[in-house]
Structure 1
Amino acid sequence: MNNPALLMGAALLLAVGTFAFRFAGAALRARVTFSPRAEKVLEVAALVLLTALVATTALYEGADAAGIARPAGVLTGAVLAWRRAPFAAVVLTAAAVTAALRLAGVP
């Protein structure tokens, strides 16, 4: 895929699609209503999707396992977030735990 025109076209198409989705959500919010059950299902679905994204990012690097250091850092960040620590503290502590473990030779 070395064709710059093709890459620019694909990027433009993705940008237009993203804008259309966002605009449709704002424009149709007052017109479309969901039942309380459907709203609850959509909320849970979003949570499940986010959890799956965090899990795959924390546990895998490409096709291989990420080792122990990264999941340990993510777990540390999750515990701090659960304890309602400030966001900056969560991110910095998780990164520091991961870096310290890698510095100590833990994969």
Structure 2
Amino acid sequence: MSPTVAVILALAVGTYAFRLVGPVLHGRVAVPARLQELLSTGAVVLLVALLATGALTDSGGFAGWARPAGVLAGAALAWRRAPFAVVVLGAAATTALLRAAGVA
């Protein structure tokens, strides 16, 4: 067996075990309320960091002003509780219009 196949099998078994732990331990382990709050906060912080990285950088450098403006437009539409399709199309249209106007 090649090392690549061994790594893939190990990752597959680890993924399956990780997913199996939730249903198996569901009623047996009590997580304190403070830890639940910290985990929720950590998930939000991670998602915001991913959003910021994706919105502001491209190939290790600044993505230009059009992309962050599009993300900001999408965030404003989402905050106003627009439907998801409207949020995506509004963000894409904002970015496209700014790029067409020469804003990099």
TM-score interval for Structure 1 and Structure 2 normalised by the shorter chain: 0.7 to 0.9
In structure 2, distance between residues paired with 1:104 and 1:19: 49
Matched, 1:73 2:73: no
Amino acid at match of 1:85: A
- Over the matched positions of the two proteins, sequence identity in percent amounts to 56
In structure 1, distance between residues paired with 2:92 and 2:24: 40
TM-score (norm 1): 0.83
Matched, 1:37 2:34: yes
The correspondence of residues 20-99 of structure 1 with structure 2, limited to 5 A, is 20-99=17-96
Amino acid at match of 1:43: S
Shift of 1:6: 6.0
In structure 2, distance between residues paired with 1:62 and 1:7: 28
Report SS of the residue matched to 1:27: helix
Amino acid at match of 2:56: L
Shift of 1:21: 1.9
Cα RMSD over matched residues? 1.8
**Matching residue within 14, 18, 24 for 1:17:** 14
Aligned position for 2:98: 101
Shift of 1:15: 3.9
Amino acid at match of 1:53: L
- Structure 1 unpaired stretches of 5+: none
Alignment CA distance shift 1:36-1:82 (3 Å): same
- Structure 2 unpaired stretches of 5+: none
